[in-house]
Structure 1
Amino acid sequence: MTSPSPNGYKGWSREELIERITLLESKKDRPVVQPVIQPKLFSFSSHPRRKIALKFSYSGWEYGGLAFQLGPTPLPTVEGVLFDALAKARLIDQEAGFEGCGWEKCGRTDRGVSAAGQVVSLWATTSKPTFEHDYLSILNRLLPDTIRVLAWSPVAPKFSARFSCLYRHYKYFFSPLGLDIPRMQQAALRLVGDHDFRNLCKLDPQKQITIFRRKVITAEIEPLSLAENGEGVYVFNLVGTAFLYHQVRHIMAILFLVGTGLEPPSVVSSLLNVEAGVEPTKDGDSPYEVVDRKPEYQMADALPLMLWECGYPETEVSWRTTGKPDDDGSAQGGTLYHQMQSIHSRSQIYTTLNQHFFAAASIHHPPPPSLFPVSNVELLPREAMNIPLGGGTFKRSNNYTPLLKRNRLDTVEVMNERWRTGKGFRRDERRKAAEGGPVPDDDEDE
């Protein structure tokens, strides 16, 4: 086809113009093909790794516990959310899972329990062996406000967030109303030392635990904020080298019974006396009953419990807030400080609102006579009473049965053996079947 002359289309014939218009129209309707740009794949194998420790906090009531679960959970787990953020930042390989990055946590907290100083250790990718990312900025941009990375530290290859830990410090916050605090402190001091805590924890035969001795370093109760009318908040500080399943919440349940006057402080020593002569009698105490089986009682509420600190040797961790050791982290620290300050300020507003709701209700509903603490259990009225379980929760009871006179569970040895020959045996059979072994007859869920 003839191309347009410098003078345009003036010299074209009618047929040439029609042909030119047809050609232009066909080009206009033709779809424009954009070049396909393949995303650049990130190769974890081509990047060096270094081992780090992360210190972080989380609001326990927002999550279904710390530990990642294979099956679906009503609420997300803290580990699952943190792992996903690390994977999104390409600091770990998601397909390799927790084992692929050598993931270890200091202590496991259950649903509803919070932490202000939880620690995990892992192998993270880096551009160069000596390069240090600004982990706080990277991860806190990807994490929800209910999980905050507070600091990080380079650690040695043999460092373990779990096994390198020297101590764990838990805090349990509670109201002193109706409680005899000095009695509770007397009971708490009996926890200090190396004891068998099988009667002060949840017994889980699936774990097949046979050793229940743990060392408590500190067990103290102190006021945080008190008003003139006696209202306010106390905190129970419990520091130990390691803890059993639900151990702190079981201890608090017993301390509440002591604080209400329903149990003597010596009940703690009795519960620790799992065989004759284990607990030396203290001055003024009667000989302790041997309690080789756990009495039935309800543990304290999870909401007020917090893992406050995980302690490590100073030679093994060097907590920092930026990627540069010589940087004071003022910019990042300021951002995180204001974030936490904002959350705290908002919670104070909720507290003030609830105080006014309470004051408005008190105008029409005066407080009933206080039952606790009681001076003599034998003189308890035969009426409903609310035994505190922490966090504003109670166990309602008409008649109180002393702890050491209640029904008791089977011994640890019996519970472990029953599980081992029952559910444990069936679990092993299912595993054998999955590997090509004989098919079990019983398919009961674990």
Structure 2
Amino acid sequence: MSEPKPKTKKEFSWDQYHERQIALRIAYIGWNLKGFVLQNDTNETVEYHIFEALKRAKLIRNENECNYSLCGRTDAGVSGVGNVISVRVRSVCPTGLGSIPREGAKVQKEEMNYAQILNGILPPSIRVTGVAYVKPDFNARFDCATRGYRYFFHKFDKNIDLMKEAAEHLLGEHDYRAFCKFSPDSTKHCVRKIYKCEFGDAGGGVWYFEIVGSGFIWHQIRCIASILFAVGNGFEKPSITKELLNTAKYPGRPNYPIADPEPLVFWNAGYENIDWKIDEAVEKKMKTNFALQLIDAEMRAAVLRCFIDGDLQPPAAKKWCPVENLDQCKSVEAILAEYEREKGHKPVDAGDE
């Protein structure tokens, strides 16, 4: 009796499917990640895990042929609630916004549930929280009108009113060179516009400030946080923020310490005419995933409180040297001139915080 022939695996054919341009709203806990964008020396980035999930689900062929774009290039340790990417994916429903039909391809009445598919593959620290169909030429970065961040902190003895006064000077369009780490590889100038800088009580002695702008420069939010905390702790006057916007006095950033990345969260990205959707069951499962991690964190916090005798006390304030006494980094103009001499071309804007 002859043995049954082994089943041959049917080869996947991309020609049987349509394509669709979509936007994905991404939430991620960044504390153990090395940033959002792909890196050569580590796989622990948000982009790596997203691309791996997209390829494993056969939603894209590879990361170089999917019309990919990203809104916020967040650093190592920074988290996100509402960061956005756009990508061209495999589709089974050749109708509606973003659809790119292919003649002879499969047709189904309903589109694939992209959030459900990806969330079933992604690690627990990363989740798709919204899907939107977008025009084929949509760009997550260039079509973004506003970006918002929140920076969380323990209030302790900080004077919130003084911090609010200092924050008001930052509103409007300014050259924020004294509030960033300038890199000619990623930007050619430091002019940005801030629409909002407000404070809120997150409970349990934790506060946050929320800042919304047209875009932000590398480390801009963390630099602003550092200066605002110095004001709140009484080390600087609220007028320091206005003084630091004077590019004649501060052509380069003074060498003050930058605030830590872990309390920073990419809060939202604002777009016109974008309709975010997610299946109710998928959303419930996603929230349960993060709730379980919150429960674990609260248990760990409860254990840590066992080692504290009495109420939580503020740590000793870090030494702070007045900004006016600090050395300054090279001016933006000097860095740009040096860059052009070495590279032979002018830089272009490549990303945010």
TM-score by length of 1: 0.70
SS at match of 2:333: helix
Residue 357 of structure 1 is matched in structure 2 by 307
What root-mean-square deviation, in Å, do the aligned CA atoms of Structure 1 and Structure 2 show?
A: 2.2
- Where structure 1 has 5 or more consecutive residues not aligned to the other structure, the ranges are 1-26, 227-231, 276-289, 323-328, 372-384, 388-396, 426-446
SS at match of 1:150: strand
Partners of 2:36 and 2:250 lie apart in 1 by 32
Partners of 2:330 and 2:152 lie apart in 1 by 32
Residue 161 of structure 2 is matched in structure 1 by 182
Deviation at 1:34, TM superposition (A): 5.2
Q: 1:50 aligns with which of 4, 14, 20?
A: 20
Larger Rg: 1
Change (3 A) 1:92 1:405: same
Write out per-residue CA displacement over residues 13-54 of structure 1, whole angstroms, 9 at most, x where no aligned residue. xxxxxxxxxxxxxx9xxxx75524332222224421011111
Deviation at 1:194, TM superposition (A): 0.6
Matches for 1:190-269 after TM superposition, within 5 Å:
190-207=169-186, 209-226=187-204, 232-269=205-242
Partners of 2:164 and 2:128 lie apart in 1 by 34
Residue 126 of structure 1 is matched in structure 2 by 91
Matches for 1:3-82 after TM superposition, within 5 Å:
35-69=5-39, 71-73=40-42, 76-82=44-50
Q: Contact 2:149/2:268 (CA < 8 Å) preserved in 1?
A: yes
Matches for 1:66-145 after TM superposition, within 5 Å:
66-69=36-39, 71-73=40-42, 76-94=44-62, 97=63, 99-130=64-95, 131-145=110-124
Q: 1:308 aligns with which of 264, 267, 280?
A: 267
TM-score by length of 2: 0.88
Q: 1:332 aligns with which of 282, 297, 300?
A: 282
Question: How many residues end up aligned between the 2 structures?
Answer: 331
Residue 255 of structure 2 is matched in structure 1 by 296
Write out per-residue CA displacement over residues 406-433 of structure 1, whole angstroms, 9 at most, x where no aligned residue. 11112112122223334x36xxxxxxxx
Partners of 1:414 and 1:241 lie apart in 2 by 26
Q: Contact 1:170/1:238 (CA < 8 Å) preserved in 2?
A: yes
Residue 147 of structure 1 is matched in structure 2 by 126
Q: Contact 2:182/2:217 (CA < 8 Å) preserved in 1?
A: no
- Where structure 2 has 5 or more consecutive residues not aligned to the other structure, the ranges are 96-109, 345-353
Q: Contact 1:206/1:416 (CA < 8 Å) preserved in 2?
A: no
Partners of 2:242 and 2:29 lie apart in 1 by 34
Deviation at 1:225, TM superposition (A): 1.1
Partners of 1:199 and 1:158 lie apart in 2 by 35
Give the structure with the larger helix fraction. Answer: 1
Aligned partner letter, 1:172: Y
SS at match of 1:100: coil
Partners of 1:199 and 1:252 lie apart in 2 by 13
Q: Contact 1:65/1:109 (CA < 8 Å) preserved in 2?
A: yes
Q: Contact 1:258/1:265 (CA < 8 Å) preserved in 2?
A: yes
Residue 347 of structure 1 is matched in structure 2 by 297
Write out per-residue CA displacement over residues 358-409 of structure 1, whole angstroms, 9 at most, x where no aligned residue. 23xx59xx96xx89xxxxxxxxxxxxx632xxxxxxxxx3xx5320121111
Q: Contact 1:62/1:146 (CA < 8 Å) preserved in 2?
A: no
Write out per-residue CA displacement over residues 142-181 of structure 1, whole angstroms, 9 at most, x where no aligned residue. 1111011111011111222111111111000001113111
Residue 401 of structure 1 is matched in structure 2 by 321
Aligned partner letter, 2:278: T
